[in-house]
Structures are given as C-alpha cells and as structure tokens.
Chains A and B, each alone.
Chain A
Amino acid sequence: MAIEISFGQYLPLNSPIHRLDPRIKLIAIFISIIFIFIVKNFYGYALLACFLLGLVILSKVPPLYIFRGLKPLIFFILLTFALHLFTTQGTVIFQFWVLKGTIEGLRNGLLMVARFMLLISFSTLLTLTCSPLELTDALESLLSPLKRIGFPSHEIAMMMSIALRFIPVLVEETNRIIKAQVARGADIESGGILNRAKNLIPILVPLFINTFKRADDLALAMEVRCYRGGEGRTRMKEYTLSQSDFLFLFTSIIVGIVSVLI
C-alpha cells in the first residue's frame, strides 16, 4: 500500500488572486458560499459559475485542478441527483421498473448538483490559491476580536500551525511504519472490514508512541526558546489591505446579491 499525498493542494503561482490578502479571500469565499445556499434558480447558479470561472482564469490555476477536487465526490453527487429525480412527486417523464422520473425531480436534482459542484469548487479554489499557513494566519487574525470574550484564537492558530508543520513529517513516518510492518509479514490489504481494521493496529501503535515522543520534544524546544503564548508576539509577514482586496470583496458581494435577485 503505497501512499501518495498531494497535501494542501496549494499551487504557488504568481497571480492577482494569489496576491490577495488571505483574510479577504477567506471572507469573500465564505460570502459566496452563503449565497450558494440562498440561490434558488439556475440563473443565479449560472452567474456564480461565471464568477468562479473568472476567478479561475485570473488565478492561472489549470481548471483541471478544480475538477480534481470534485472527483472524490462524483458518486455522492450522482446519488443525490438520482434520489431527487426519483423521489420528487410531479409530472412523470419516464418510468424505469418501479422508479418514476419526474420533471420536478429532474429540476431539483440538477439544482442540487449545481449547488454541490459550486460549493466544492469555491472551497477548492481557496485552498489552491492560499497556502495552509496563510489560511491559519488569516483565521487567527479574523478570530482575534473574540479574544476579549476569552476565545483562545492564538492557541487555536498555534495548534493548527503545529499540525500543518507536522503533517508531512507524519505522512513520511506512517509510510515508513507501513513498510516496516509489511516487511515483518503484516498483511494490511486483505480480509473483511473488521479484519482490515484490526490489521491497522500494528501501524497505529508505533505511530502513537512516536507522536507522544515528538510532542514532548517539541514542548521542550518551545520552552527553551522562551515561547510565551500570543501576548506581544510579532510576525515575520504582516498583511496589509490594498485596493484590489476591497475590489475583490465588493465584487463577490455584488455577484452574490445579483445571483439571489435574478
């Protein structure tokens, strides 16, 4: 079982979308996603799809990458479509055995498919144009007003940065453990569901022991470097808002409102 992982999906390109402030990108994409849920007809979805297409072209991301984000969900999307097609009451357009496809069902199904594809595509575009660390910084900055009511925004961002920093290391380690256990005769690819689950234990246990060790080492390293929490900490990269950030935010809001109204 070889593990291939394209972590984070982030594509480091030099485009106007990549250069936008990650906080603005996060807010704008979030707003677009809310509008996707409010829109009720095809015109609205068509407008949002055009907006998405414009963003993809501007971001220089090959459209294939956006489709790749949809791939794991194709079955799920088709199932949703079929459920709507056959369970909605209305004018029957065709009949297959006991299943009756209705015109209303076809419409609902297509609307659902459009909604899902847009939702996933917008969030894929965000992760393609924003590195995980930029996203974490943006999240910390956006959540910082909540500090006043005791929300641990710095701690959450810190834990996220630690996690993101260690993911590639742990992927490599998991790979190594799997190889080591397979070399010792472990069989992780055959048997029924329960058997397969049980066979994962020899992989999980060493992974855990190493994780505990790493956590202790990391804590010690942080302590000797005088880590003192969020208070008075400065950043290497400060984000500043520019005109293009405001333009992007404004455009997403306008597109969202128009797509609901038409």
Chain B
Amino acid sequence: MDREYIRFLARAGLYAAVYAVLTIVLAPFSYGIMQVRVAEALTVLPIIDKSAIPGLFIGCLIANIVGGYGIIDIGLGSIFTLIAAYLTSRVKKDWQAPIPPIVINAIGVGTYLAILLKTPIYWGIFWVGLGELIACFGLGLPLLFFIRRIRGK
C-alpha cells in the first residue's frame, strides 16, 4: 500500500479529531448571544493539505453527532463543510482561503436554518456569516501563516 495513502488517512483522521475537539471543547465559549465556532478556523487548511478535505467533513459530522445539535446539522452542515473545503483547496492565494467557508456556510447554513425556522433568510445568512467571518479571518488566516512559517513553505 502506498505510503502517501496511509499518511493521507492518518492526517485526515487527526484533522477530523481536532475539528471535533475544538467544536466540542470550545462550544460553550460564547460571546453573548452570537456564537463563533472556533473550529471553523481549520477550514483554511485544505489550501496546504488536501487530506483536510475529508478531515473537515468527518470532523464536522462527528462534532454535529456528538454535540447533540440535531440531525439537520449532521447531514447538511457537514456537506456544506465538504463543499467549502474542496473549494478552499482550489484557491490560489492564502488570503482567499477563508472565503469559500464563509460564503458557503453563510448562504448554505443560513438558508437552511431560515427555511427550517421560517425566518427571514437574510437574518440567518447575516449571523452565520458574521460568526464564520470572525473564525476564518480572525483565527484561520493567522493560523495558516503560522503553519506555513513552521513548515518553512
């Protein structure tokens, strides 16, 4: 079996674990009414490591199963994370990496929450988007720069 294939599996599994741990551990880390999912900072990773694509998907799946946030999140939430992770892996510049997760999750998650709750769609998009914006640009991008510096790429 290919050595790279095993490394890919191991890394993806660990990214998933980190995502799930950060979501579960820091979930009560609330900022008043609005909550920021810190683990979403990891969504910038696919730009440097392709194994983060399935990793984030599985991490989100586990986090949503374990966290007790209901079945709607389990399916749709992880699929949107997967789409965003794939798009992030295709962007060219570092500063663009947080854009797919912010846009996809704000529109995707915001919309399905709004439809589910029959609330105005812009309301859902705004709050989900703002939370993502803080996690991805505020935390994700600095994290990406740090990792690049550590790995010397």
Q: A residues bordering B, Cβ < 8 Å?
A: 3, 5, 7-9, 33, 68-69, 72-73, 79-80, 83-84, 87, 112, 116, 119-120, 122-124, 127, 132, 135, 155-156, 158-167, 169-171, 174, 193-194, 196-198, 200-201, 204-205, 207-209, 211-212, 214-216, 218-219, 222-223, 227-229
Contact = CB atoms under 8 A, between A and B. Distances in A.
A171 B14 contact: no
Given A84-B118, A197-B134, A116 B147 contact: no
Interface in B52-76: 54-55, 58-59, 61-62, 65-72, 74
B72 A119 contact: yes
Contact of B68 (A3, A69, A80, A193): A69
A7 B138 contact: no
A243 B7 CA distance: 42
B58 A8 contact: no
Contacts of B146: 201, 205, 208
A124 B16 contact: no
A196 B26 CA distance: 12
Contacts, number: 173
Contacts of B69: 72-73, 120
A123 B74 contact: yes
B18 interface: yes
Contact of B16 (A84, A162, A169, A227): A162
Nearest to A166: B17
Interface of B: 1, 3, 5-7, 9-18, 20-22, 24-27, 29, 31, 36, 38, 41, 54-55, 58-59, 61-62, 65-72, 74, 117-119, 134-135, 138-139, 142-143, 146-147, 150
Contacts of A83: 117-119
B40 to A, nearest CB: 11
Most A Cβ at <10 Å: residue of B14, B38, B55, B59? B14
B138 A208 contact: no
B62 A160 contact: yes
Give 8 nearest A-B pairs by CB, closest first: A162-B13, A163-B16, A166-B17, A219-B10, A197-B138, A219-B7, A163-B17, A69-B68
15 contacts: A73-B70, A80-B117, A122-B71, A158-B9, A158-B13, A162-B17, A163-B13, A163-B14, A163-B17, A166-B13, A166-B14, A167-B24, A194-B134, A208-B143, A219-B3
Contacts of A132: 62, 65-66
A197 B135 contact: yes
B31 A193 contact: yes
Nearest to A205: B146
Contacts of A162: 9-10, 12-14, 16-17
Given A69-B68, A83-B119, A162-B9, A207 B18 contact: yes
A201 B10 contact: no
B10 A167 contact: no
A198 B138 contact: yes
Contacts of B5: 229
A222 B138 contact: no
Nearest to A127: B65
Nearest to A188: B29
Contacts of B21: 167, 170-171, 174
B71 to A, nearest CB: 5
A216 B10 CA distance: 7
